[in-house]
């Protein structure tokens, strides 16, 4: 049960990053979400449309996020071979002193 919750949180964060292009989270989660989002963008770029839709739909919750991946982000990163995200350190959280970062898509 714990694994399902963690995967659900990471998928939700990946969807939010795709939609809003910037999220604030802990450093550990940002590193995990980074891999998911970069993999999704690569799939959107390289595979045929039907195969990409199926692969993206298995991870992303929102139809608007998958549409944005296939239309906007695919064209934005057409010439780029990797490194679609950036992690910017913001400091520490007050309650538990966890490292807080901003995970954002590169322009």
pLDDT tens for 48-67 read: 888 889 999 999 989 999 99
For residue 16 the two structure tokens come to 């939010």
Query: Measured between alpha carbons, how far is 5 from 107 in angstroms, rounded to an integer?
Result: 31
Q: Which domains does the chain possess?
A: 2-105 (3.90.1030.10)
Pull the structure tokens for residue 101: 């970062």
Checking phi first, is residue 97 left (phi over 0); if not, alpha (psi -120 to 50) or beta?
A: left
The span from the CA of 100 to the CA of 4, in Å, is 24
Q: Report the alpha-carbon distance of residue 80 to residue 6 in Å, rounded.
A: 30
User: How long a stretch of residues is the chain?
Assistant: 107
What backbone phi and psi angles, to 5 degrees, belong to 88?
Answer: -115, 120
Q: Work out whether strand 85-92 and strand 99-105 pair parallel, antiparallel, or are unpaired.
A: antiparallel
Q: What is the DSSP letter of 62?
A: -
Please state the rounded mean pLDDT for residues 35-40: 96
**pLDDT tops 70 at residue 1:** no
- Both tokens of 94, joined, read 């007050």
Full-model pTM: 0.91
């Amino acid at each position: 049960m714990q694994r399902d919750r963690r995967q659900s949180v990471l998928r939700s964060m990946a969807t939010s990053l795709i939609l809003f292009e910037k999220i604030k989270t802990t450093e550990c989660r940002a590193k995990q979400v980074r891999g998911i989002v970069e993999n999704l963008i690569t799939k959107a770029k390289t595979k045929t449309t039907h195969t990409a839709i199926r692969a993206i739909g298995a991870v992303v919750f929102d139809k608007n996020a998958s549409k944005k991946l296939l239309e906007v982000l695919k064209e934005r990163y057409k010439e780029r071979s990797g490194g679609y995200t950036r992690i910017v350190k913001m400091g520490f959280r007050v309650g538990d002193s966890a490292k807080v970062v901003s995970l954002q898509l590169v322009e």
